Amino acid sequence: MSKIVDENCAIAIREAVRGDVPRILEAIRGLALYEKLLDEVEATEEILEEWLFDKKKATVLLADYEGEPAGFALYFTNFSTFMGRAGLYLEDLFVKEELRGKGIGTALLKTLAKIAKDEGYGRFEWICLDWNTDAIDYYLDIGAIAMDGWTVYRMDRKRLSEFAEE
């Protein structure tokens, strides 16, 4: 997949390949820094290669702006039992701070929406940190609906291991 998103060719979106792993890891660290969670990044190039390219558990889109790395989106499919079909779940989307406001995030979201539409998925969903009001306002502006009444639950690796052995 290679897609030029705007007429001036300023923004290009493409699916990542194995050789992009260092760039993906750099983008993940950029996102973690923005979210004030850099100390939680465990990903390494080896881990990303295994899970993204050997096991194929997620897909990464890379965005360039005027030929330079600008951002990324990482997504995978989930499944709705009520709809009886898959959905597209956006795990992370990040645009470098100095390039925000140039349409890169929108281009990534539109590319993901097109993938979901073309594949016949029933929905496209993601979560957003409560403090990220700029993103929340934008998502509402583009017609996304906040799923009030739902709470995200998580077990980290340590608790997952303990629970599985109880």
- Alpha-carbon span 95 to 143, nearest angstrom: 20
- Alpha-carbon span 5 to 87, nearest angstrom: 23
Active site residues: 139
Q: Is 72 exposed, middle or buried (0-12, 13-18, 19+ CB in 10 A)?
A: buried
- Alpha-carbon span 32 to 102, nearest angstrom: 21
HSE-up of 18 (CA within 13 Å, CB side)? 8
SS3 64: strand
Sign of the Cα torsion 98, 104, 138, 82 reads negative
Q: Is the CB of residue 22 less than 8 Å from the CB of residue 69? A: no
